[in-house]
Structure 1
């Protein structure tokens, strides 16, 4: 149990046990294992249950009624049940303890990933049927400004007249909610999350659903399941383009996304120095292997512009990404300077293309967004 939950595991599981499926008589308590429960200062309760994978669709139909039961607890204003099915399909291992016996066993905070309240989508249902184009923003390593690129690219595409969505698939380090200046959790309507509207785009981040202090200590299947659910359990509606902010590297999240949805292209972010370009090269190679076209490379932190004298200093070298793009035969989308305004825009929740569109950084992001928007329209024509 999470430290700030004032309710005992038995109390929670007893309430969940009162809601049962009409045909089978199964309840969330009898089929699931309590992983975590948190209650914030506003009285919003979030409860995470591990359930057998094959039972998840049926059990999800009980979540609405079970949430109403949880709202009867003292000082609870709302309740959200998150189901996570990260065990292999099939029955629990022989000799496994019962759900109530396991209720007090505490998993890592934030260890769930399915915000369900209605029937899960059919296995053969199309994923993102209203989204015309999906673009991934990736980097071979962390710390190169990938999420900053994703935010400013998505908002810039919206400014280009495209109906745009932004999905934060960086499961272990979700940050886009902070960069967009959003607060609170997305609404749930008929069992589906509603994207948050921010700066002319629709956005969803796992950071909107879990406490910022929670560590996403998740295994590979949970990461892949979380991404699938952010795609299918969110009412994205009709979009011209969706920008997906991927985690650094070339791991489970990347493979899961390319297997689930038809990616139209990828934008790779790097800094100029050789050590970053080595990893960027790996990212390009990965997308080539899964038949996803690389729309181009962005060189972030290309140079530092002194705010006092205007002198440019190439702290990490300069032009490395452009040369690498030429060597690999992929487009070079542009270079973005290292500016204090870019850092402060991320902290303040106002993307630079909105807060300072005529700054050097703002102009660079607008140019990159215009180039990508042109490519998107060409794909759709």
Structure 2
């Protein structure tokens, strides 16, 4: 016999497509009517624009209700009122639903998320490319990954990943956009592409803090932060806000670039942050013969890693993704996992996992 209790227990298996929380706890199920084996449901969606997500959502609801014996299922969808959205936003901000542990903030001291700041001494060395592909490689291995594009002036992550969708807003709460299994937030979602961001330090700090505290982040294993080049305001803010964050330094083989990148590494060391290692980008050109041509010289990043007493993690060759080999969706900086570059970024992800897992084990013992 079908009962409301049995229906609600079944519906707890259904996740809201964007929030990834069950629709019963989110109060999306508004009414249930049962007549023999026929079920009528009224549900309130956060927004109307679900498209393909809504189709999968409906299919999952019908699947779980059929599994408990329903023969006929009728679904009626409405959109949440502003009051319902505001109530949901407050619930997400202040309850266990929204948190990695017991509090609403991603920066909760008990959070199990590993924060990794990717930095460089100067621009143009491929720091964002490394961040994006490391994030995708981690997600491909099944980890829950977030990415904050903290380069407020020079944001590039949405374009690199081919993201054209805007974040969903629930009252004053922002939901990150997901692509390739990575949840992303960037200034690029809120600013017109042709308009420069002309802000002073205080506004940068407020925006950065909003990316952490005003955005709904579900449980994450890794949060990657693409820092602007150099050691300016945002890098200082990250060091203050996330003292337990770990760092990856990106450089090129050129001696000048590695000397400048050393400043970013020294900043991390002075703030007692763990250096995961150095990534050397644009290391060489891989010729058709299989030989390597070192256009920008050799050993710059190796010397950098040695001077910082850390590891040279990987050397990434010069190149660009072959978009004919997979559905790129205009993600001009994302490499297919089976390409030469994709395999190198997979190796980088493996090393990051091993190093961060070891660090967590040491912290637990202490």
Query: TM-score band, normalised by the shorter chain?
Result: 0.5 to 0.7
Consecutive unaligned residues of structure 1, counting only runs of 5 or more, are 1-63, 66-116
1:183-237 CA distance string (max 9 Å, x none): 1310012421101111011111111111111101111111111111111110012
1:342–1:361 Cα contact (<8 Å) kept: no
Q: Equivalent residue for 1:13?
A: none
The CA distance in 2 between the partners of 1:323 and 1:161, in whole Å, is 34
Q: Equivalent residue for 1:250?
A: 231
Of 124, 140, 161 in structure 2, the residue corresponding to residue 143 of structure 1 is 124
Deviation at 1:267, TM superposition (A): 0.3
- Partner of 1:348, secondary structure, is coil
Deviation at 1:360, TM superposition (A): 2.1
In 2 relative to 1, CA 271–220 (structure 1 residues): closer, same or farther, beyond 3 Å?
same
1:291-348 CA distance string (max 9 Å, x none): 1111100000000123x44442111112221232123211111100001338999993
The CA distance in 1 between the partners of 2:263 and 2:322, in whole Å, is 27
Q: Equivalent residue for 2:107?
A: 128
In 2 relative to 1, CA 274–262 (structure 1 residues): closer, same or farther, beyond 3 Å?
same
Aligned 1:294-309 pairs, distance under 5 A: 294-306=275-287, 308-309=288-289
2:271 paired with 1:290: yes
The CA distance in 2 between the partners of 1:343 and 1:150, in whole Å, is 19
- Partner of 2:223, secondary structure, is strand
Q: Equivalent residue for 2:330?
A: 348
Q: Equivalent residue for 1:204?
A: 185
The CA distance in 2 between the partners of 1:196 and 1:131, in whole Å, is 22
Deviation at 1:350, TM superposition (A): 5.7
2:305 paired with 1:313: no
Q: Equivalent residue for 1:377?
A: 357
The CA distance in 1 between the partners of 2:342 and 2:159, in whole Å, is 19
Deviation at 1:280, TM superposition (A): 1.0
Q: Equivalent residue for 2:79?
A: none
The CA distance in 1 between the partners of 2:198 and 2:333, in whole Å, is 29
Q: Equivalent residue for 2:162?
A: 181
1:155–1:201 Cα contact (<8 Å) kept: yes
1:133–1:264 Cα contact (<8 Å) kept: yes
TM-score normalized by the length of structure 1:
0.64
- Partner of 2:321, secondary structure, is helix
Deviation at 1:135, TM superposition (A): 0.5
In 2 relative to 1, CA 228–249 (structure 1 residues): closer, same or farther, beyond 3 Å?
same
In 2 relative to 1, CA 285–340 (structure 1 residues): closer, same or farther, beyond 3 Å?
same
- Partner of 1:341, secondary structure, is coil
In 2 relative to 1, CA 315–159 (structure 1 residues): closer, same or farther, beyond 3 Å?
same
2:105–2:212 Cα contact (<8 Å) kept: no
In 2 relative to 1, CA 374–284 (structure 1 residues): closer, same or farther, beyond 3 Å?
same
Deviation at 1:160, TM superposition (A): 2.4
Could you say what the CA RMSD is over the residues aligned between the two structures, in angstroms?
Answer: 2.7
2:119–2:228 Cα contact (<8 Å) kept: yes
- Partner of 2:113, secondary structure, is strand
1:97-156 CA distance string (max 9 Å, x none): xxxxxxxxxxxxxxxxxxxx979x89x975433552111000000000000000011111
Aligned 1:261-276 pairs, distance under 5 A: 261-276=242-257
Aligned 1:91-170 pairs, distance under 5 A: 126-129=105-108, 130=111, 132-170=113-151
1:265–1:295 Cα contact (<8 Å) kept: yes
Count, aligned residues:
263
The CA distance in 2 between the partners of 1:377 and 1:214, in whole Å, is 41
Of 346, 354, 358 in structure 1, the residue corresponding to residue 338 of structure 2 is 358
Consecutive unaligned residues of structure 2, counting only runs of 5 or more, are 1-81, 84-88, 95-102, 362-366
